[in-house]
Amino acid sequence: MPYMIWIFAAIVAIFLFVKFAVGLVIIGEAQVGIVVKKIGKPLANHRFIATAGEAGYQAGTLAPGWHLWLWAFMYDVIKQPITIIKEGEIGLVVARDGEQIPANRILGGVVECNNFQDATKFLENGGEKGRQLGLLTAGVYRINTSLFEVISTDNIEQKNLTGVTKEFLKMTQVKSDFVGLVTVLDGQPLVEGRIAGTSIPGHSSFQDGKAFISNGGFKGLQEDVLRPGSYTINPWFAKIEQIPMTEIDIGYVGVVVSSSGDSDEDVSGTEFTHSNLVKKGNRGIWAEPLFPGKHALNIKILKVEKIPTTNIVLNWGRESSSHKYDENLNSITTRTKDGFSMSLDVSQIIHVGAGMASKVIARVGSMQNLVDNILQPIIGNYFRNSCQASEALDYIKTRAERQREAAKFIKEALLDYDVEAVDTLIGDLVPPEQLMLTLTNRKIADEEKTTYASQKLAQDERKKLLEAIAMAESQAEVVKQEQGIRIANSRAQQSIEEAKGQSEKVKVQALAEAESLRVSSIAQAESVRVKAIAEAESIEKIGEARAKAYQASANALGPKNLAALEIINKLADKNIKITPDIYAGGGEAGGGMQGLIMASILSNLQDKSEIKTQNPAI
């Protein structure tokens, strides 16, 4: 054991002798040696790192391995770990020495120095002290930490730098369907009249800060944007803001109004004098609209007015449509020629063609301006003027015609604004309450008049029906009366025949008696004969008179009335009442026969005794 100790002590002694004798320094594989020279020419006052053997921190570093002649009395070697930048991250660099950054810049310019691993070249090539425009991407670097301070996610917490976080040190990732708006923090000041820096070639989407500044890039908001993807951008050089892409839905176009661009040359032609239309990318209203899809636009310098290319319905006085252009439109209040106030609900259908969208915006600025400043006064004033020239009732009655006239007028008026008027519709028309009451009363009166007419027609039909029923019911009586007339005629004829027969019989009897008495007394026979002849003639005359009376009555009254008279006489002889207390007769000539009969019957009843006196045979 003592032997081993002596061997170990000897080795250590030899090592210490060699180290101090020849100045041996060993640098490991994951290390970098920072050399501090103790003896040498003093550094200039404005310098911190020596590049020509001056005393102090040396620009050169020691690579891994054995290094001789670095005697301890003359040099100090500080071993630092190598710098590692992880995948997807960046390293920011701050130089402690170098030239002064120009007053119009905030970052040190990029110089050839092997990604800050060659401090000597950095200083000799004009590297500037302070925060650097250049950065370190993912990898392993041997950095002279006495000259460069590297900020990475591994040491950010110890650095405690304001505004610098771990997210700050990661690559810029622009998400899908998003666009990156870029604000450059270094470069030339923007020229007067511009709000954003123009496109600069060669900077590889702001990843090459040196190219951007060398080519005259301006600080501030940039016209160029970043599309979805990964970018190695120095956050001290450019700030990135992510916003969703501008989406134009189907059924719309987007009219772009640009506040930035190189030119405002008008391409609309001499006939269009309302505003300039420019080419895409220039300053002004782009003549060509954006069609449906997603567009990577810088909305801080561009305004996109979405114009529906389908029919747009605007409602005055009704519920607003989904586009909300008409949410400030109210019912149109008008006054008629006769002094009544009326309220109109109107719907206007318009269409803006895709090719005309830019011209419409050039005229009025926006779709809302089109509705508020053009459509509302045109349509409102038209209906007010139209009502003023007409009385309220006339306007209500001719509503359909008024609607056609309005559609024609508004269609022609909107052509001056490159807008197509598809149709104009009048909705609810609210007249004054007093006028509505008048119309209601008039309508009720008309309806009552129609009702009364219908009732009168129904009564007339009912009267005809009752007459038909009465005629049908009296038909049997008529038949019976006609039968009575035939019977009366037959009886009259029978009476005549009987009278003739009786007369013949009397004559025969008289002749027989005369013949029988002729023998006893001629005078008595002659007297009997004369008496018989006279009696026969009297009977014959009575029969003939009765027959003539029937015939005269039939001629005077008619067969039907004679039969009725005969029936009444029969009933009267038996004291049977046949006359009704109340009688209603028709006013028509053909329907008065029954009345005539009844009047004749009543008259004959009164004169019955007289008739019998005059006509004993009856």
| 256 strand-pairing partners | 304
If asked whether residues 502 and 585 sit together in one domain, one would say yes
- Asked, for residue 278, whether it belongs to a domain, the answer is no
Query: In this structure, what CATH number is given to the domain that contains residue 346?
Result: 3.30.479.30
Residue 118 pLDDT class (50, 70, 90 cuts): very high
Residue 565 pLDDT class (50, 70, 90 cuts): low
Q: Where does a domain end: 373, 408, 432?
A: 432
Q: Where does a domain end: 218, 244, 270?
A: 244
**The predicted structure's pLDDT at residue 547:** 65
Parallel, antiparallel or unpaired: strands 130-136 and 91-95? antiparallel
- Asked, for residue 285, whether it belongs to a domain, the answer is no
If asked whether residues 318 and 387 sit together in one domain, one would say yes
For residue 29, give every residue at least 6 positions away whose Cβ sits within 8 Å of its Cβ, in sequence order, or none: 64
- In this model, does residue 246 exceed pLDDT 50? yes
- In this model, does residue 251 exceed pLDDT 90? yes
Q: How far apart are CA 246 and CA 179, in angstroms?
A: 9
If asked whether residues 546 and 484 sit together in one domain, one would say yes
For residue range 125-152, list pLDDT tens digits in order. 999 999 999 999 999 999 999 999 999 9
When pLDDT is averaged across residues 545-568 and rounded to a whole number, the result is 64
If asked whether residues 165 and 176 sit together in one domain, one would say no
Give the pTM: 0.64
For residue range 453-492, list pLDDT tens digits in order. 888 888 888 888 887 787 777 676 666 777 777 776 777 6
If asked whether residues 502 and 579 sit together in one domain, one would say yes
**The predicted structure's pLDDT at residue 73:** 87
If asked whether residues 33 and 164 sit together in one domain, one would say yes
Query: H or E stretch including 386?
Result: helix 376-388
Range of the domain at 107: 2-169
When pLDDT is averaged across residues 357-380 and rounded to a whole number, the result is 92
When pLDDT is averaged across residues 315-336 and rounded to a whole number, the result is 87
The helix/strand/coil state of 394 is: helix
Of the chain, the percentage scoring pLDDT greater than 90 comes to 48
Residue by residue, DSSP assigns 397-435 as HTHHHHHHHHHHHHHHHHHTTT-EEEEEEEEEEE--HHH
If asked whether residues 152 and 224 sit together in one domain, one would say no
- Asked, for residue 28, whether it belongs to a domain, the answer is yes
Number of domains the chain contains: 4
**The predicted structure's pLDDT at residue 568:** 61
Between the CA of residue 183 and those of 66, 177, 195, 259, 298, what are the distances in Å? Answer: 49, 20, 11, 16, 11
Q: Where does a domain end: 399, 432, 465?
A: 432
- Asked, for residue 457, whether it belongs to a domain, the answer is yes
If asked whether residues 111 and 219 sit together in one domain, one would say no
Burial (CB count within 10 angstroms: exposed 0-12, middle 13-18, buried 19+), residue 396: middle
